[in-house]
Structure 1
Amino acid sequence: MFRNLYKRILSVPRSLSVLRAGYQNFVMSQALAQIERECEQFCPVPRFPPQKVTVVGAGSDVGRIASLFLKQQNIIRTLALYDDVPERFVLGVANDIAHIDTSTAVEGYQGRMFLRPALDNSDVVLICGGSYVMPPCCSNPDRELFFNNMQLVRTTTLAVAQFCPQAVIAIQTPPVDCNFALCIHTLQTARAYDKRRVLGVNAINAMRANQLFSTVTGADPGISTTPVVCGTGRCTRVPVFSAAKAGNFPQSQVDCLTRLVREADDIICKVKSNNEQGHLSIGFSTARFVVNIMKGLFEKPTFIESALVEQGNPEKCYNMQYCATPVTVGKGGIVEYAVPPLNDSETQLLEYSKCDLEDMLNLGRSYAVGDEYYLHPCKCFSCCTPQDCKECADCNATAKI
């Protein structure tokens, strides 16, 4: 008897056996949603990173080149391109790059109102682009350049602190020394600062130093590294050729290579007919910098030749709290700081460059916290005062990258 009853129940159509409510209990659904939100505060759901990189300023020359190389990396699953300048047509750039047949998905966002979806759930945020005073060989101090770009960096930093505080921020917008200080002090004000997750991009200087040294010695630049310490600007970068086994070189040749690294931007400006910077090399080095961060976050600890960071132990880093040194990036950001030893000439150059770096950092800090900015005493008698450029007629012209 029970067997026949069981067969009759199984013979009933599935659609009829399922009871469906003809109404929705909104009160109960809202109560459950509130309980779920309160539960997530104490028992947060584990985050599964989407391996997403957001390029802020992707419509600039450097942003386009960096995005082109980032699209080719399998470690990046989603590449979000954002820009708030309509003339840069970032949507067209995103559509163009999306035609490359790689597994990386491309998203395009144009305008300030789309900054939140561009940053949402990002793992690395690259801040590049901005404006620069053209040509850079003229007597235009970096503080004028900072005034043009500070709003972009500050707005993006506040948005990162609110929408993706877990992201690693890589700052490439010039001048990097000032904007790095502006970023970290803005994050401190928003109570979202982690010194392991804010890096100033110094890859172009380390790449130039490595290439120059490898050209002279005949070594393979792919297996050698030449660190650059102190800062990222012309007057703050200190290439450490002694760490690249340059001990057998005469000091005059080392001094010549050091000058080439520090004045590389001016040299490119004079050689190029349109008085532009080296956007190709800067974009490539920036993309490689971001890829190394992603590999350290999701694969294994990765060594980066040079990055402007807050040091874990300033006493071991030439008594400098903020300094560009080689670092190792791991799961949570920076996991190790490598400080190369300096010889006598490099130590002397570092002491000359410290005051310029302190002045740039103080400028960015002042505009982040609202303090009054005072010119550093060493700037009154600076050893690195830019000279007038007689070849350029429009020294005050402004351009967009």
Structure 2
Amino acid sequence: MVKVVVCGAAGGIGQPLSLLLKQSDLISHLALYDIVNAAGVAADLSHINTASKVTGHVGKEALAEALKDAHTVVIPAGVPRRPGMTRDDLFKVNAGIVRDLAQECAENCPRAFILVISNPVNSTVPIVCEVLKKANVFDPRRVFGVTTLDVVRSSRFVHEVKPQFEPQTNRITVVGGHSGATIVPILSQIKQVSFTPEEIKSLTHRIQFGGDEVVKAKDGAGSATLSMASAGARFTNTLLEASVRGTRGLVESTYVHLRGNPGAEWNARSTGLDYFAQDVELGLEGVANVLRLPDLSEEEQSLVKTAISELKGNITKGCNFVNDGTTPSAKL
């Protein structure tokens, strides 16, 4: 049985994400958890004619049951970013939610793959890892920050500038993190098309701050939910394809803990960081191999240096949040 749990399933990302996951023939049980409305979402999805069972779990007292025997836990729980809201503002709200969910995972499904969507990912992934370390169940191969939306945006935005670039079949490597200047698309490695320096600068900025377009367009009503759900489902399905079916050679960009992961030593030395997003080959145990950073243009090298500087603070903030123990638990 392959049980996939969505924590935050009734939210703006959680509902479309759950809908997309219901289509997967690799999932036999889709468990939907939220503090409200998860039962209704589950009842609705359970009418779709695919084989997977769908169950709804509402409230903290139902969380252990939702997580029991989970193969994969996907966490989009938290509040969305709104106009004028900084990543720090977002952190204050979402950090406690993610920490408490990670603690429940440590207790109820310590071997599950954990896929973190809740922003700010640069800090929430370290939160999850630190919680699992404290519980002595941490495996760096099994915790992922889902940065796939940056990859999806890169392909789409390049296609808009260069229509001959096929966005569905050509994947662009994106390294660094998952916010603003920490997002570094490696456009220099694209062989199908060429760019002017002005195009490179414009595309890079749009990819880095693409989320702002959606926040502004929704005029205070939310952030990127549908595109994020699509990206989250893509990463989840790729991981399942590798870990359940055993399909080899599947690569996605993702934000992971470098130390202890196969192949990550080079990236850890070159960045000086414990966490970084780059191409990762997925396998039966999660991370099969962290691929080396590709050759970078001078401009990309400069962008990576900026990303590293910002990521240091993001990572420290997440680790300190768990290890200082000064913030009260959030309501799950």
Q: Does structure 1 residue 191 correspond to structure 2 residue 136?
A: yes
CA contact (8 A) 2:181 2:303 kept: no
Map of 1:1-400 to 2, 5 A cutoff? 50-84=1-35, 86=36, 89-135=37-83, 138=84, 140-217=85-162, 218-245=164-191, 248-299=194-245, 300-301=247-248, 303-311=250-258, 312=261, 313-316=264-267, 318-319=270-271, 320-338=273-291, 339-370=293-324
Tell me how far apart the structure 1 counterparts of residues 249 and 17 of structure 2 sit (CA, whole Å): 19
Post-superposition offset of 1:342: 1.3
Q: Name the larger-Rg structure.
A: 1
RMSD: 1.8
Tell me, which stretches of 5 or more residues in structure 1 are unaligned?
Answer: 1-49, 374-401
Structure 1 range deviating more: 244-253 or 300-309: 244-253
Structure 1 range deviating more: 91-100 or 298-307: 298-307
Post-superposition offset of 1:133: 4.2
CA contact (8 A) 2:5 2:33 kept: yes
Percent identity reads 28
Post-superposition offset of 1:254: 0.6
Tell me, which stretches of 5 or more residues in structure 2 are unaligned?
Answer: 328-332
Tell me how far apart the structure 2 counterparts of residues 239 and 372 of structure 1 sit (CA, whole Å): 36
Change (3 A) 1:346 1:247: farther
Tell me how far apart the structure 2 counterparts of residues 113 and 301 of structure 1 sit (CA, whole Å): 39
Which 4+ runs in 1 deviate beyond 4 A? none
Paired letter, 2:311: L
Post-superposition offset of 1:248: 3.0
Post-superposition offset of 1:256: 0.5
Q: Scaled by the length of structure 2, what TM-score is found?
A: 0.91
Tell me how far apart the structure 1 counterparts of residues 22 and 325 of structure 2 sit (CA, whole Å): 41
Tell me how far apart the structure 2 counterparts of residues 143 and 301 of structure 1 sit (CA, whole Å): 38
Deviation string 1:248-303 (CA, Å, 9 cap, x unpaired) is 31111111000111111111222334553121101111111111111111111352
Post-superposition offset of 1:370: 1.2
Tell me how far apart the structure 1 counterparts of residues 57 and 326 of structure 2 sit (CA, whole Å): 36
Paired letter, 1:125: V
Change (3 A) 1:371 1:276: closer
Paired letter, 1:359: G
Tell me how far apart the structure 1 counterparts of residues 326 and 51 of structure 2 sit (CA, whole Å): 49
Deviation string 1:12-51 (CA, Å, 9 cap, x unpaired) is xxxxxxxxxxxxxxxxxxxxxxxxxxxxxxxxxxxxxx11
CA contact (8 A) 1:269 1:276 kept: yes
Tell me how far apart the structure 1 counterparts of residues 181 and 304 of structure 2 sit (CA, whole Å): 10
Structure 1 range deviating more: 219-228 or 103-112: 219-228
CA contact (8 A) 1:189 1:369 kept: no
Change (3 A) 1:372 1:129: closer
Q: Scaled by the length of structure 1, what TM-score is found?
A: 0.76
Post-superposition offset of 1:55: 0.2
Change (3 A) 1:302 1:102: farther
Post-superposition offset of 1:113: 0.6
Tell me how far apart the structure 2 counterparts of residues 246 and 263 of structure 1 sit (CA, whole Å): 24
CA contact (8 A) 2:77 2:98 kept: no
Post-superposition offset of 1:216: 2.4
Structure 1 range deviating more: 203-212 or 245-254: 245-254
Tell me how far apart the structure 2 counterparts of residues 263 and 186 of structure 1 sit (CA, whole Å): 30
